[in-house]
Structure 1
Amino acid sequence: MIRARYLLSVSTAELWHAYCCDMAALLSCTDEVLDGLDELRAAGWRVGVATNGAVDIQWAKLGATGIADHVDGAFVSEEADARKPDVRHFALAAARCGGALEDGGWMVGDNPVNDVGGGHAAGLRTIWLDNGRPWDPRVPAPDHTVADVSGAIDHLLQMEADHVSTAS
């Protein structure tokens, strides 16, 4: 419909590819976050991405930001028609990282229902990225709240450090 409306000569596939690339180009990830992901992995954490969306766009974003190179795996909902907060989504993401929900773990995200609620339903502990927003008291609370991704990474690394010092 867009091609016809604007009399575009490029194919639908070319338009979609350009859209995916342009969407991905709008995003960035700080070196601090990428380094933090590496620190988590070096400390023994399996780090993954669980995201809803179209495969082409989400993988383009993961590649353009560099995140794909700093995680153990990623799962995009369209790959198996399993969207967060569906527990199956979290199980497939864990499998992409070489793990299983039964191993336990954490879900870090900014959506109270999809990330926190879905994470709880999957048996995971949760960290909510509040981005300056108040929590809706009608929704079950996350296990921990931070302002941003760096805060979540710091929290998980501190937990690891506390665990190591307690075990010593």
Structure 2
Amino acid sequence: MSNLLPRDAEKAIWRMYLGRFILAGSLVAIISAALATFALLPMYVALHSDKSGAPELSSGEKRAATQQERSEIAHAQSLVTTLSPFLSAPSTVSVAIETALTLRPKGVYVDRIRYVSGEIMLVGEASTREGISAYRQALQSNSYFTTVSVPIGDLAGTQGGRFSVTLTGTF
């Protein structure tokens, strides 16, 4: 089977396709640039427009506006100093989770923590069932948690070391 077109005609056709491809690519680039320009034009106009439409304030009006701004700033600062103890105090939920995690004995790992209004669920894995039992006892001895519940199957070790602990309290 031989080529139907001579070599020179084949080169001419490939040049024509290459020219069309370059022309189409150029048109796509030009249209993209135009769309980007139209998309960014409102922001450019907003940033570079002169503020001649704003009325000029006299020095007395400027001073009054400055005094008003200063009084607003002073009020905001007083609010910040008043509310700062409340803002910097840790939430009771984070304290409860931190307490529950610090009571873990060696060999007990917590994978997931779930909180739903007054109830924290800890899911994890322990190397031994005695570790799960020790963790439950440590949590029950802490007065921060009102109830500590662990499924019986987890305490018996039927889950292969996996456990879930549900803690309730006022947090």
**TM-score, normalization by structure 2:** 0.23
Considering Cα pairs closer than 8 Å and 6+ residues apart, tell me whether 1 or 2 has the greater RCO: 1
Larger Rg: 2
